[in-house]
Structure 1
């Protein structure tokens, strides 16, 4: 269209400030690279981690009566979770489908050796000890990516309240778990 003369380019020459159109482009680019102070960045990371952990869903089950299984997000968990059927504080959590957890609990209830030896049952028992001792904070720690009951217990023995230090410890363990999973040194 320029060759046909339909459009014409005109040079504005050397200017002291950008043209109105160039100014818009510069402002937009400057906003995308706005520097963030280290303190603010740390606050954003901690808030993001807190929100992620609290929104995780897990399957909770009573290891005493073995009749209650429920999936719920951690933020909806009571501070000291109890079984709605038997009022026991022996509540375990696991990242499995409720159907498979119910199946294992039925086997354990029937005194089946395969049920009591299952990895699911062992994990429910381990996590129930942590939840009965530390409450909801244990569930938050266990929601960390790649965290085992043993690593969660290490975190909880150092800091047992949902604080910045607690979140730092969880992130540190998540990082360690990720590196060990991919053998990164």
Structure 2
């Protein structure tokens, strides 16, 4: 199927304008597969299909439930199966400018049309450990210990730092401490 055939499915509204990346599931120089979340909490699985030209990515995006996402992350379902049997009857087909991240074209394809374009391999499995989901306090303690060691290193080696670099290092430690404190407060 060529692009002229899907032109009638092009939409002008960008439903991903207010989404944010929740988690990158597969990465090789650039994110290949990631999960986005919108302001209502809906999750979307975003897959890099191909590069159309130097700076234009072709991506497939489907809505996905928490349950299916867990199956996918545990390797109980392939990425290809997820796209072959989406939970909703429509799939987003996007062209994204790699330089600025802006969607240049977006199509809302019926599943039967999308499947003629679907190139996601059914042999593409993930197996992601979810240690942080089960032991968040353990990870905070590990991070806090690491931060303490970094602070100690900076203090011991500060005579070797340029003044500006020392300030940047100390500021980074301060920022990370704040982030850890927020994480502790959420638990």
**Greater helix share, 1 or 2?**
1
With structure 2 as the length reference, what TM-score do the two structures score? 0.25
Q: Which has more radius of gyration?
A: 1
**Greater strand share, 1 or 2?**
2
With structure 1 as the length reference, what TM-score do the two structures score? 0.25
